[in-house]
Structures are given as C-alpha cells and as structure tokens.
Chains A and B, each alone.
Chain A
C-alpha cells in the first residue's frame, strides 16, 4: 500500500502542473465514461420500453 502511495505521489503529485493535468484529464475521461455507463444501464433496464425499441411497430420506413 505504501508502495502504491509512493508511486502515486511520485507520478502525479510531485509537480503541480502534472497534478492539475491529471485532475482535468481524469475529470474529462470520467465524464465521458460515466455518461456512457449510465446510458447503457438505463437502456438495458428499459429494454423494449423506449421509443427507439418500439419504433418499428408503429413506423414503417419507405424504402
């Protein structure tokens, strides 16, 4: 555990510029990842109930 803490400190915290970059980078990545994960859970939870799932029953595309 101390090894991990040291590695973390030496990699990310030692320089403030690296620290701030890591914070913003991970915030950006987390924003995208969380949104994707929650959307996928929502779609799975509501499978067959959403308009995109039942659209075919009501609208036939002209082709």
Chain B
C-alpha cells in the first residue's frame, strides 16, 4: 500500500521586507568586493591630501617612502 500525501509540504523562510537570511548571505561576497572598491576609491581621491598621506600612505611598507616629504628647513623658499 502506497501512502500518498495531500500535497507538497511547503516551508516558508522568515523574511523581512522580502529579505531573508540565505539571500543576505548570498550577497556577502559581492558586498565585500564593493567594500574593496569603496576603499580603492577613497584611496584614489585622498592620495593628495597631506592628512591622509601622513596618517596612512606613508606607512605602507615598501613604497610608503613616496609620500614622505622631509626637506631641510632652509631649503624651503619663503
């Protein structure tokens, strides 16, 4: 005797405004890459600002020397 079920057993995933956990998890890798893009954009547009140069860029290991500006005081024209 085969036992039949009345219909498919549907399950609903809890969601808020159409967003649920598995869906949000699937966004994570792409959003992480967008985070990298934002960081790159900020780096590109703040590259010339002294505060950023002294705080971040001059501390980059190999080519951080590029942003170090340390002239002899008497060499700076007034």
For the complex, count residues of B whose C-beta is within 8 A of A: 15
For the complex, count residues of A whose C-beta is within 8 A of B: 18
Is the Cβ of B33 less than 8 Å from the Cβ of A27?
no
Given contacts A17-B34, A51-B75, A32 and B43 within 8 Å (CB-CB): no
Q: How far is the CB of B40 from chain A (nearest CB, A)?
A: 3
Is the Cβ of B37 less than 8 Å from the Cβ of A35?
no
Is the Cβ of B63 less than 8 Å from the Cβ of A21?
no
Q: Which of A20, A23, A52 neighbours the largest number of chain B CB atoms within 10 Å of its CB? A: A20
Binding site for A on B (CB under 8 A): 30, 33-34, 36-37, 40-41, 43-44, 47, 63, 66, 72, 74-75
